[in-house]
Amino acid sequence: MAEIDTDAHFDIAICGGGLVGLTLANALGRSNFKIAVIDGQARPTFSEQKAPKQKAAEYQAVTLDGCKLASGFAPRVSAINVASMKILENIGVWQDIKRMLAFKQMSVRDTSGSANIKFSAEDIQLDSLGYIVENREILVALANKLKTHENISVFWDTKLNGIDDTPQTTDTAQATDKTHTYRLSIGNQTIYCDLLVGADGGNSRVRELSGIKTLRWSYDQEALVTTIKTEYPHEKIARQWFTSEGPLAFLPLAEPNLCSIVWSLNDVSEHKASNLREFCARLTEASEGELGNIIGADQRFSFPLTQQHAFSYVKENLALIGDAAHTIHPLAGQGANLGFADASALASELMQAKFSEKGIGDLALLRRYELARKPHNLLMTSVMEALKRLYTSGDPGINWIRNTAMKIANDNDLLKNMMARLASGL
C-alpha cells in the first residue's frame, strides 16, 4: 500500500456543504479536529443566483404582460424557527445574515370550510415565531464564517465519487494499526478520514455507498415556488391555506408587499405553463383575496416532494444528518430546522469525544446522537404525514372533522399556545 499523504488525512469529512453540513462544520470550528467539507457545487455567493437544480428547458419563460416581477429575492427561502436561530447565533453566523423578516403571527385557513387558526408570538411571550430568510443568505454567511476556522478545508466544486472503508495505514513499512478509516475519492483526488458525515441531501451518495436503506415514498406532489407581489402588505404574518389542490404558503419577506410562496400541487405543470396574469388570478382566488389581488410574480420553479427516513442514521465511523437522514413535506417548513438540530446534536457529541479514549467514529457515541434526534424527527415526519393526508382528503366527513377541530383549536388558548411553541421550535 502506498504511503498516505498525511496532509490529505482529516479527522472528519463532511460530504455536503448545504445548510446542514456547513452548520456542523462551523459548530466544530473551535475544536481541534481537522475537518474537510466537500461539496459538488461552487461556493455560494450573492452574485450568483443559486438556481434550483433543474433542466434549463423546464424553466418557464416569463412573459411581459404587466405582472412580471424582478423582486431581487432568491426563489428558495426557509422559515427558520427560534431554536434554529439560536443554533446559528451560537456559531456566530446569524449576526452576519443581512436580510430576513421576523414573523409575529401565523394564520392557517381551510378553504373548504370557514375554519381558521391564528397564533402569535405575543401569546407565548416571544418577539417572533421565526424568521423568513433566503437560503442563499444563510449559505453565504455560513461559507464566509468557515474561512475564519483554520482547522477546516473546503473542497468546493468537488463531488464525492466513491468511498472505501477497508483499513488504511500511513506507513507500509511499520504501521499495522488501523489509522484511517475511510478513503474518499473526491473530484480527481483522494483524501482520508476517521469519521464520514453524510450531509449531502435527499439523494445522499454517502447513504447509498454505505448501504443504509430508507423508508421512502413519493407524495406524487411537487412544490411550486416563486416570489409574488400582493396588493395589501403582509403585516409580518406567515399565512397558509389548505386548498383543494394542496397547501399554499405565503411567507412574508423583508419588503411589506412581497411574499415567497410554496404551493404543493398534484400537478404543477398547468400552473407553470399558465401566463402570469392567469397565474396571479389563481393565486388571488386560492388565497381568498386575503392580501387583495396578487399583482406580480417572479419566475416559477418546482421541486418534487418525497418523504424518506433512513433506517439508521449511523454506522461505525459514519453519520447522516439533515435531508440525508430524513426529508419531509414542506407544508410546515420544518426540514431545515430538523437538520440544524441534527448538526447541533452531532457537534456536541463529537466535542465530548475529545475527552474520551474512544475515537470519534465510536458507534456508541454516534448512537447517542441518533437517539437524541431520531425520535423527534420521526414524530415530526408522522405529524406532517397525518396533516398532509388530513388536508388532501376529499371526504366530506373528514372535511367536517378537520373544520370542527380547527375551530375548537382556535378557541382554545392552551392549544394555540402549544402550536405557537411548536412553530418556534422551543
The dihedrals phi and psi of 406, each to the nearest 5 degrees, come to -65, -40
* Nearest residue (CB) to ligand FAD, 109 versus 207: 207
Nearest approach, Cβ of 332 to ligand FAD (angstroms)? Answer: 8
Among 246, 252, 296, 322, which residue sits at the site for ligand FAD (rule: CB under 6 A)? 322
Q: Does 134 bind ligand FAD (CB under 6 A)?
A: no
3-class SS at 177? coil
Among 27, 91, 115, 225, which residue sits at the site for ligand FAD (rule: CB under 6 A)? 225
Nearest approach, Cβ of 40 to ligand FAD (angstroms)? Answer: 4
CA dist 395 and 31 (Å) reads: 55
Residue 237's Cβ-side half-sphere holds a number of Cα atoms within 13 Å equal to: 18
Task: Please state, in angstroms and as integers, the Cα–Cα distance from residue 359 to each residue in 11, 152, 154, 351, 398, following that order.
Answer: 10, 19, 23, 11, 52
Task: Please state, in angstroms and as integers, the Cα–Cα distance from residue 165 to each residue in 42, 74, 87, 178, 182, following that order.
Answer: 27, 39, 32, 11, 5
Q: Does 339 bind ligand FAD (CB under 6 A)?
A: yes
CA dist 325 and 272 (Å) reads: 31
Give the contacts of 264 (CB within 8 A, at least 6 positions apart): 219, 221, 222, 223, 224, 246, 247, 248, 305, 329, 330, 331
CB 23 within 8 A of CB 321: no
The dihedrals phi and psi of 320, each to the nearest 5 degrees, come to -110, 140
Choices 54-62, 116-124, 334-342, 350-358 (CB under 6 A): range interacting with ligand FAD: 334-342
Nearest approach, Cβ of 175 to ligand FAD (angstroms)? Answer: 29
Q: Does 248 bind ligand FAD (CB under 6 A)?
A: no
Q: Does 75 bind ligand FAD (CB under 6 A)?
A: no
* Nearest residue (CB) to ligand FAD, 250 versus 399: 250
User: Of all residues in this chain, which one has the CB nearest to ligand FAD in the complex?
Assistant: 18
The dihedrals phi and psi of 259, each to the nearest 5 degrees, come to -130, 150
Among 223, 265, 297, 406, which residue sits at the site for ligand FAD (rule: CB under 6 A)? 223
Enter the DSSP assignment of 292.
B
x/- mask, ligand FAD, residues 14-53, rule CB under 6 A, reads -xxxxxxx----------------xxxx------------
Q: Does 130 bind ligand FAD (CB under 6 A)?
A: no
Query: Under rule CB under 6 A, how many of the chain's residues touch ligand FAD?
Result: 32
- Interface contacts to ligand FAD, rule CB under 6 A: 15-21, 38-41, 78-79, 159-160, 199-201, 205, 223, 225, 262, 303, 322-323, 330, 333-337, 339
